């Protein structure tokens, strides 16, 4: 059984808000996603207030490689020595700032502009410390979580499932103006398959990347 603290951070340029989730397992913590750079101080203050400091914060688990979810990973590793885990298919987003790796390619100007808009510069790039893959248990890292591959929003999108049915879905799902698939979807057919997979899993409550957590029974 884990305690879950939702941390909601504003995005730059009025692009809305993003969720991070601080999970407490006894004396230790894991952070699922870590927001974008513009709210770095707010995030680190919230972590400090919760007691998730150096040595206590064990891992940052990324649901995917987008900058609104990964923008403080490199910084938090420098500050706390925390390990970063993510799926391999989104790796170039983290290491090269290539948000459109493995995705449909927009105009090259858009590709160059998006990292700038999110403040994802060279200092924000990082190599994860470990890669996660579908079905994997993270017990070896001291985390009672299981990885569920949920492609659709990006190829390397994953969810993290607790023993008691809490699923951190990243941007497969959102609940900003109602529960549904994320409005920004790279591959809708894959997203539908991911949604079907979720229905087969023992999920009670879903904690999305954007918007309010919701009961799994209200899935579309």
User: What residues make contact with Zn ion under the rule CB under 5 A?
Assistant: 68, 171, 209
Q: How far is the CB of 209 from Zn ion (least distance, A)?
A: 5
Q: How far is the CB of 112 from Zn ion (least distance, A)?
A: 19
Cβ proximity to Zn ion, 184 vs 189, nearer residue: 184
Provide the β-strand partners of residue 137: 146
Q: Are 132 and 101 in contact (CB under 8 A)?
A: no
Q: How far is the CB of 68 from Zn ion (least distance, A)?
A: 5
Q: Which of 51, 39, 38 is nearest to 5 (CA)?
A: 51
Cβ proximity to Zn ion, 36 vs 149, nearer residue: 36
Query: How far is Cα 4 from Cα 176, in angstroms, rounded to an integer?
Result: 19
Cβ proximity to Zn ion, 152 vs 209, nearer residue: 209
Cβ proximity to Zn ion, 171 vs 187, nearer residue: 171
Cβ proximity to Zn ion, 58 vs 158, nearer residue: 158
Q: How far is the CB of 67 from Zn ion (least distance, A)?
A: 9
Q: How far is the CB of 120 from Zn ion (least distance, A)?
A: 13
Helix (H, G, I), strand (E, B) or coil at 9: strand
Burial 150-171 (b: 16+ CB within 10 A, else e): bbbbbbbbbbbbbeeebbbbbb
Catalogue the E-assigned strands of 26-119: 28-32, 57-61, 83-87
Q: How far is the CB of 22 from Zn ion (least distance, A)?
A: 17
Cβ proximity to Zn ion, 18 vs 138, nearer residue: 18
Q: Are 63 and 33 in contact (CB under 8 A)?
A: yes
Let me know how long the chain is: 220
Write out the DSSP string of 133-154: -TT-B-GGGT--EEEEE-TTSS
């Amino acid at each position: 059984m884990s305690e879950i603290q939702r941390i909601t951070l504003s995005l730059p340029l009025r692009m809305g808000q993003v969720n991070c989730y601080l999970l407490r397992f006894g004396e230790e913590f894991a952070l699922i996603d870590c927001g974008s750079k513009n709210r770095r101080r707010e995030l680190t203050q919230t972590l400090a207030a919760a007691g998730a400091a150096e040595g206590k914060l064990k891992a940052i688990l990324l649901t995917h490689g987008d900058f609104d979810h990964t923008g403080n990973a490199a910084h938090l590793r420098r500050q706390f020595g925390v390990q970063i885990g993510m799926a391999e298919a989104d790796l170039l987003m983290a290491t090269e700032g290539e948000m459109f790796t493995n995705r449909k390619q927009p105009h090259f100007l858009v590709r160059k502009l998006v990292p700038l808009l999110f403040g994802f510069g060279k200092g924000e790039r990082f190599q994860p410390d470990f890669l996660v893959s579908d079905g994997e248990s993270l017990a070896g890292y001291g985390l009672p979580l299981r990885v569920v591959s949920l492609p659709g929003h990006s190829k390397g999108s994953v969810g993290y499932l607790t023993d008691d049915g809490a699923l951190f879905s990243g941007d497969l799902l959102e609940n900003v103006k109602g529960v549904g698939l994320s409005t920004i979807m790279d591959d809708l057919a894959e997203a539908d398959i991911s949604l079907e997979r979720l229905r087969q899993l023992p999920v009670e409550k879903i904690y999305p990347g954007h918007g309010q957590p919701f009961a799994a029974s209200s899935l579309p």
